[in-house]
Structure 1
Amino acid sequence: MMGRRRVHVTPQEEDAMTNGIGAALRRIARKVWARAALFTGLAVVFALAAGVVGTLFPFRIVVDLGQDSVGTILQIIASSMLTVTTFSLTAMVTAYSSATTTATPRATQLLIEDRTSQNALSTFVGGFTFSLVGIIALSTGYYGEQGRTILFFGTLVMVALIVVTLLSWISHLSTFGRMADVIDRVEAAASRTLTTHAESPALGARSYSELPDGLTSVCGTSSGYVTFIDLDRMERVAAENDVEVYVRRLPGTLVDPRTPLVSVAGRIDESVRTSLADAFRVQPHRDYEQDPRLGVIALAEIGSRALSSSTNDPGTAIEVIAALQRVFETTLASTPTEEVSYEHVLVSPVRLDDLVVDAFRPLARDGAAIIEVQIRLQKCLAALGRGRPDRSVIFSRMADQAYARARAALADGDRDELDHTYRTARTK
């Protein structure tokens, strides 16, 4: 089948292309500029449509608006929206900077994707554009008498939208970018990604634990982190060429042009190699979309920074431990599906051991000399172990490591309290 030119598109290929386009559109929709551009375009259409719609009505809608009243209102909106937009941008950048310095840089992308702030900024930019286009159109005589009336009512709708958005934005600013807000956002992202991973550990492919011999390795062409794997494309290429593809690098892995991305059982040519390598999206920074480890790593980083001598905020570290406990409880309660969507693709799933180490080892290390943190950590690990007896050995191992670190760092009185907590948690 190798080298055969396809002259039609199968339903499976159509589904794969649709999924790929949908994923690309979802990524674009999370960008600030995308929503602002959409609102700006709608504002321009809205403003210019008033001059056209009026001519289509079989009846006349004319209101005596006074001397240039619409133009005055539009000028007020234009000047005020420019100021509000500048203020909103400043507030957003301040929140991003605060999250980077006080929590973790890995949380910034979640703040950037915040829908409330994007909607607010887009509405303000759209209101400014609407008023500016309206002023220009009025000055050129674009609107007739009925068109100005329709523009007036449209302006009232825009004013109402701006006021509602502004009130919502003011309320949102009271929590946006604060430590609790950042922890909640990272927790939600970690829970979402880990739950998806728990329900489909192999991403819908078949699982493997060890690579067989005699495989052909395929490397990429760039350095960075794997952020997304297009398994639809990979399955299509593998099925067409009657081969099996073993995925070697999962999202979150750092790769370079010499790193094998996949290994293939069967003969492949250069075009197949290129197609398989192109199924991996490699970017400079990690992304939460398919990376099950990034969320817990980001939470652990927030806790570690809070435990640094310059910050000295064990309360935040305790909040992070509670958030991690909720994340793992949600994940462990998920039931993995046995359905395989990609018969020709095999994936080695992320192990729970690695996730537990990513989440709790930094807190055990950096908070070893703080008894309050260690007590909360022991209780958290014990609760997670009791929730899943079949996985309890993983949490017990981490509890033992944290206990050993803390016992070597704590004073005698704190050490006795830790011993009591450790024994009590093990016997419950």
Structure 2
Amino acid sequence: MAQLTRRLWVRATLIGALGILAAVLAAVVDRYIPWTMPGKIGADAVDSLLTIIASSMLAVTTFTLSTMVSAYGSATSNVTPRATKLLIEDRLTQTVLSTFIGSFLFGIVGLVVLRTGAYGERGRVVLFIMTVVVIALIVITLLRWIDHLTGLGRVGETTDRVEAAARSAIEARLKAPYLGGQPLRDGERDVPANAVPLRAGAIGYVQNVDMPALSRFCEAHDADLFVNAIPGAFVYADTPLLWMAAPHGADPVSQTERDDLSAAFAINNERSFHQDPRFGLAVLSEIACRALSPAVNDPGTAIDVIGRSTRLLCLWAEGLSEGEDAPRHPRVRVPPLQTADLFEDAFMTVARDGAGLIEVQLRIQKALLALSRMGDGTVRAAARHQSRMALDRAEEQMALDADKARLRDLVAGN
């Protein structure tokens, strides 16, 4: 449901329906107004306003669509294609386009009903008031849209969106490290030998796991579930999504129930930011790597991304020590998100592509030095490992001995 509400057509349909409803209600409400409304509004006056709205909103909607497509193309070529999804889901852009479509439909339907003579004298007054409200809404929306266009699709603004999406996913995972279930530390050791696997049956990325649905299955069948594929995992048709462990002598699970369990795992061709903290960090690394490519040659953007990734990993390191709430789904066990994987997503590719640039390597080592002083042992170990890997890559690529010595001195000071 949450993914559906982020679709552009949903909001456009709802606001468009409101525009049609407003125009029709102005005709219906005429018979329910018992008093005489002050002033008289001629049909020609309302007709002129509705004609202007209908004709101008069609042009503005077309312009808005072309601007959106241009911004998406700019983000794809200058940032990374994975960030385009965040632009498509931008609420302000969707609201602006939906408002223009709704205003256009209001004007068209209002003109049709007006010219059929369905509006009485009081109905025309109501329609005129609604038209003035719609015009005011259009003006406000245009002003917001103009301000929004100054950054839409640009590298800095798009990077802000990716960082915000990654931060939201990390905060959500810190509140529920095991998605509300119990920890599954070691799948080979903790999963019972008699547990039955549930295969994916499809190839793609796990975008979301419906934990309440899994918990309801556990309660209904007095079973325990051991999740194998968490959001962000790439699964094959024979990959176990989970293992089911039911009491001895329990009724076998029907195919319909197995299908319901499979439906709790949303598998798609692409990863999603919303339950997958690693994806946000990986996309930030892609932005940095593109900036470091010979065609772009923008180390400043890569350094900016390193700072953003450091902020996010600092949030993760500090959140690990706060503990977790009581599990909401105690019969579902979920493997933890590995800190080493987060550090690898954030630093490995940037250190590889920026291996020959002393300014990039210095920033990486300083960031990892700061992170090595935070969190628990897993954070410190992951930071030191990435520091050693980055240093090894830099020594292979750097041509100047003085740069190598400077970098070694910084790492040795850790």
Asked if these proteins are the same fold (TM beyond 0.5), I'd say yes
316-325 vs 281-290, greater mean Cα deviation: 281-290
1:121-140 paired onto structure 2 within 5 Å: 121-140=97-116
Given the alignment of the two structures, is residue 342 of structure 1 paired with residue 318 of structure 2, yes or no?
A: no
Aligned to 2:133: 157
Given the alignment of the two structures, is residue 282 of structure 1 paired with residue 270 of structure 2, yes or no?
A: no
Aligned to 2:164: 188
Given the alignment of the two structures, is residue 254 of structure 1 paired with residue 230 of structure 2, yes or no?
A: no
Residue 361 of structure 1: how far off its partner (Å): 0.2
Whether the aligned pair in 2 keeps the contact of 1:191 and 1:331 (CA below 8 Å) is no
Given the alignment of the two structures, is residue 270 of structure 1 paired with residue 254 of structure 2, yes or no?
A: yes
User: For 1:145-201, what per-residue CA distance to the aligned partner results, in whole angstroms no more than 9, with x for missing partners?
Assistant: 111111111101100000000010001000111101111100011011012112221
289-298 vs 57-66, greater mean Cα deviation: 57-66
User: For 1:362-389, what per-residue CA distance to the aligned partner results, in whole angstroms no more than 9, with x for missing partners?
Assistant: 0010100011111111111111122326
Taking the aligned partners of 1:59 and 1:108, their CA distance within structure 2 comes to 54
Tell me the secondary structure at the aligned position of residue 250 of structure 1: coil
Whether the aligned pair in 1 keeps the contact of 2:206 and 2:268 (CA below 8 Å) is yes
Aligned to 1:119: 95
Whether the aligned pair in 1 keeps the contact of 2:200 and 2:239 (CA below 8 Å) is yes
> Compared with structure 1, are the counterparts of its residues 53 and 214 closer, same or farther at alpha carbon in structure 2 (3 Å cutoff)?
same
User: For 1:298-352, what per-residue CA distance to the aligned partner results, in whole angstroms no more than 9, with x for missing partners?
Assistant: 1111111111111111111011101101111222222231411112111111100
Runs of 4+ residues over 6 Å off in structure 1: none
Taking the aligned partners of 1:113 and 1:281, their CA distance within structure 2 comes to 18
Residue 67 of structure 1: how far off its partner (Å): 6.2
Residue 233 of structure 1: how far off its partner (Å): 1.1
Residue 65 of structure 1: how far off its partner (Å): 3.6
Aligned to 1:371: 358
Q: Which amino acid aligns with 1:90?
A: S
Tell me the secondary structure at the aligned position of residue 214 of structure 1: coil
RMSD: 1.5
Alignment match of 1:179 (pick from 155, 178, 191)? 155
Identical amino acids, percent of aligned pairs? 40
Q: Which amino acid aligns with 2:222?
A: D
Alignment match of 1:310 (pick from 288, 295, 308)? 295
Q: TM-score scaled by structure 2?
A: 0.94
Q: TM-score scaled by structure 1?
A: 0.91
Residue 39 of structure 1: how far off its partner (Å): 0.5
Q: How many residues align?
A: 401
389-398 vs 351-360, greater mean Cα deviation: 389-398
Alignment match of 1:418 (pick from 378, 385, 407)? 407
Whether the aligned pair in 2 keeps the contact of 1:96 and 1:111 (CA below 8 Å) is yes
Residue 57 of structure 1: how far off its partner (Å): 1.6
Taking the aligned partners of 2:9 and 2:155, their CA distance within structure 1 comes to 26
Given the alignment of the two structures, is residue 197 of structure 1 paired with residue 177 of structure 2, yes or no?
A: no
Taking the aligned partners of 2:117 and 2:280, their CA distance within structure 1 comes to 56
Aligned to 2:380: 392
1:204-283 paired onto structure 2 within 5 Å: 204-211=180-187, 212=191, 213-266=193-246, 268-271=252-255, 272-283=257-268
Whether the aligned pair in 1 keeps the contact of 2:206 and 2:271 (CA below 8 Å) is yes
Alignment match of 2:47 (pick from 53, 62, 71)? 71
271-280 vs 403-412, greater mean Cα deviation: 271-280
341-350 vs 410-419, greater mean Cα deviation: 410-419
Taking the aligned partners of 2:245 and 2:126, their CA distance within structure 1 comes to 67
